[in-house]
Chains A and B, each alone.
Chain A
Amino acid sequence: TQLLEQSPQFLSIQEGENLTVYCNSSSVFSSLQWYRQEPGEGPVLLVTVVTGGEVKKLKRLTFQFGDARKDSSLHITAAQPGDTGLYLCAGFSGNTPLVFGKGTRLSVIA
């Protein structure tokens, strides 16, 4: 069974701080997707990474796929209250359904 471990589970920071959340597995994935979910809504796709070592930027968010395609990180620079939400990573290996991590719940306090 493929598992994706996300850390930390919870994170509460002040506006303007930087943070990094992690998504780790012992399995290799052909692609890894990051979603953000706000309370009462469905997850919304942020980015997909497919190449080992790939780095993608989305404004203040930087996503990196590990060289071995087993892990990924999300770094947020100068966090804002609008970044508050549940961040989910999801891995696809190509021969089994998408596997979701349990998420990191981020709270950015103004």
Chain B
Amino acid sequence: NAGVTQTPKFRVLKTGQSMTLLCAQDMNHEYMYWYRQDPGMGLRLIHYSVGEGTTAKGEVPDGYNVSRLKKQNFLLGLESAAPSQTSVYFCASSLREFYEQYFGPGTRLTVT
């Protein structure tokens, strides 16, 4: 039982490049979330999903897109990376909405 996994663990992008972060969970959770964590800012919600095929905006959605084509996977895309998107990205899942979330190990992204 792996829980929540994220790939890749580290990535360096140049401004304007695109990439997709993959999150997978094996707990059959309906709810999945993407957060970013920056020094002094805490965890901020980017997008979330309340079930397969659904997505919703969080606190800081601009510059990101998401897709939930399969229940176990939640993808976060950056179409044109900017230095302001340098951050650590965490995926999480839960059985009930915003209740007792299980987090992945994070992806450290640097945009130069």
- A interface, CB within 8 angstroms of B: 31, 33, 35, 40-45, 48, 88, 90, 92, 97-98, 100-103
Closest residue of A by beta carbon distance from B56? A97
A88 to B41, CA, bound (A): 12
Of the residues A40, A45, A48, A92, contact of B102 by C-beta under 8 Å: A45
- B interface, CB within 8 angstroms of A: 4, 40-45, 48, 58-59, 90, 92, 98-106
B48 → chain A, closest Cβ, in Å?
Answer: 7
Closest residue of A by beta carbon distance from B91? A42
Of the residues A35, A40, A42, A92, contact of B98 by C-beta under 8 Å: A92
The contact sample of 22 A-B pairs, CB cut-off 8 A, is A33-B100, A40-B105, A40-B106, A41-B106, A42-B4, A42-B105, A43-B43, A44-B103, A45-B100, A45-B101, A45-B102, A48-B99, A88-B42, A90-B43, A92-B98, A92-B99, A97-B48, A98-B101, A100-B43, A101-B42, A102-B42, A103-B42
A43 to B106, CA, bound (A): 10
**Known A33-B99, A97-B45; 5 more pairs at CB < 8 Å:** A42-B90, A42-B103, A45-B101, A48-B100, A98-B101
A-B interface, 9 closest residue pairs, ranked by CB to CB distance from nearest = A42-B103, A102-B42, A98-B98, A100-B43, A92-B98, A100-B42, A43-B103, A97-B45, A42-B90
With a CB–CB cut-off of 8 A, which chain A residues contact B59?
Answer: 97
With a CB–CB cut-off of 8 A, which chain A residues contact B98?
Answer: 92, 97-98
A33 to B4, CA, bound (A): 19
Closest residue of A by beta carbon distance from B102? A45
Q: Are B99 and A31 in contact (CB under 8 A)?
A: yes
With a CB–CB cut-off of 8 A, which chain B residues contact A100?
Answer: 42-44
A44 to B98, CA, bound (A): 14
With a CB–CB cut-off of 8 A, which chain B residues contact A101?
Answer: 42
With a CB–CB cut-off of 8 A, which chain A residues contact B44?
Answer: 100
Take A41-B105, A42-B92, A42-B106 as given contacts and tell me if A102 and B99 are in contact as well, using a CB distance cutoff of 8 Å: no
With a CB–CB cut-off of 8 A, which chain B residues contact A42?
Answer: 4, 90, 92, 103-106
With a CB–CB cut-off of 8 A, which chain B residues contact A44?
Answer: 103
